[in-house]
């Protein structure tokens, strides 16, 4: 079947399902007004990242500057350990509230949460999206990909309205889960873990690349991905995530 036809059939099936099923909040399961939205109380519990934040890593600053974002404002952590990527943006603070929807999305239980995430990410990442030539998702471990059957970062990237290269990055080293590791151990764990797929170098060299991930934790994985993209000749590497862990 031609790809375009298959896509249209999928779209029809999706719209048909929308019509058949009541829209439910992907975080709480409550009925909501429209597909792609979350329950109001749940939405009100989320902490959206607002200015001012670190222009490099999107860490919010505690002081209210009246919604003003001073040019080039950098946090202490970025001064001490400058990230490899140029700028990161994230829609939400990763906390108990946002963890709920993100984990349901990552487990594959609530894939339709992608429809709520996309407008939030478009708003938070307006500047990095506007400059991006190509979006590249952070790749999963092959065995994790098998277990989950999809890469949730690729699913996000494909809906952000910019050209996407889904298989630009490859994992070339087995890494251990980062959860219990210190910052230094995380850096070591993922250093050299990625490379640009040799067949995709032409789509990366000279380009402004936007890395797409679900949760920005310490940035160790994102730094390692950015390293690989720069090595392949990327002109600049930015990052866009659903949520950001507030600090180590």
Residues 6+ apart with CB under 8 A from 69: 51, 52, 53, 55
Strand order across the beta sheet in which 134-137 lies:
88-93, 236-244, 208-216, 134-137
Binding residue count for Zn ion, defined by CB under 5 A = 6
Q: Are strands 194-196 and 236-244 parallel, antiparallel or unpaired?
A: unpaired
Residues 6+ apart with CB under 8 A from 19: none
Q: How far is the CB of 140 from Zn ion (least distance, A)?
A: 26
Q: How far is the CB of 80 from Zn ion (least distance, A)?
A: 10
In the list 73, 78, 201, 245, the residue contacting Zn ion (rule: CB under 5 A) is 78
Q: How far is the CB of 102 from Zn ion (least distance, A)?
A: 21
Q: How far is the CB of 129 from Zn ion (least distance, A)?
A: 20
For CA atoms 229, 230, 234, 237, give the dihedral sign. positive
Q: Are 168 and 196 in contact (CB under 8 A)?
A: yes
Give the nearer residue to Zn ion in terms of CB position, either 56 or 203: 56
In the list 73, 75, 103, 111, the residue contacting Zn ion (rule: CB under 5 A) is 75
Binding span for Zn ion by CB under 5 A among 69-77, 120-128, 134-142, 145-153:
69-77
Q: How far is the CB of 74 from Zn ion (least distance, A)?
A: 6
Binding mask 34-63 for Zn ion (x = CB under 5 A): --------------------x-xx-x----
Residues 6+ apart with CB under 8 A from 163: 133, 134, 135
Of residues 205 through 234, those in contact with Zn ion by CB under 5 A are: none
Interface residues with Zn ion (CB under 5 A) are 54, 56-57, 59, 75, 78
């Amino acid at each position: 079947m031609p790809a375009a036809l298959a896509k249209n059939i999928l779209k029809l099936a999706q719209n048909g399902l929308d019509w058949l099923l009541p829209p439910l909040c992907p975080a709480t399961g409550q009925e909501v007004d429209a597909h792609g939205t979350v329950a109001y109380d749940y939405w009100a519990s989320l902490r959206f990242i607002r200015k001012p934040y670190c222009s490099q890593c999107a860490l919010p600053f505690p002081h209210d500057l009246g919604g003003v974002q001073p040019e080039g404002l950098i946090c202490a952590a970025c001064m001490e350990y400058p990230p490899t990527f140029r700028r990161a943006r994230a829609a939400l603070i990763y906390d108990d509230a946002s963890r709920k929807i993100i984990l349901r999305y990552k487990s594959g239980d609530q894939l339709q949460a992608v429809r709520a995430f996309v407008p939030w990410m478009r708003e938070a990442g307006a500047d990095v999206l506007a400059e991006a030539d190509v979006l590249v998702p952070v790749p999963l471990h092959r065995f994790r990909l098998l277990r989950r059957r999809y890469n949730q970062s690729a699913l996000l990237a494909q809906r952000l309205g910019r050209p996407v290269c889904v298989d630009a990055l490859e994992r070339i080293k087995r890494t251990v889960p980062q959860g219990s590791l210190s910052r230094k151990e995380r850096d070591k764990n993922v250093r050299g873990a990625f490379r640009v797929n040799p067949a995709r170098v032409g789509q990366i060299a000279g380009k402004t690349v936007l890395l797409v991930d679900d949760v920005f934790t310490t940035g160790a994985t994102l730094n390692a991905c950015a390293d690989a993209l720069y090595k392949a000749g990327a002109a600049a590497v930015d990052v866009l995530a659903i949520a950001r862990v507030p600090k180590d």
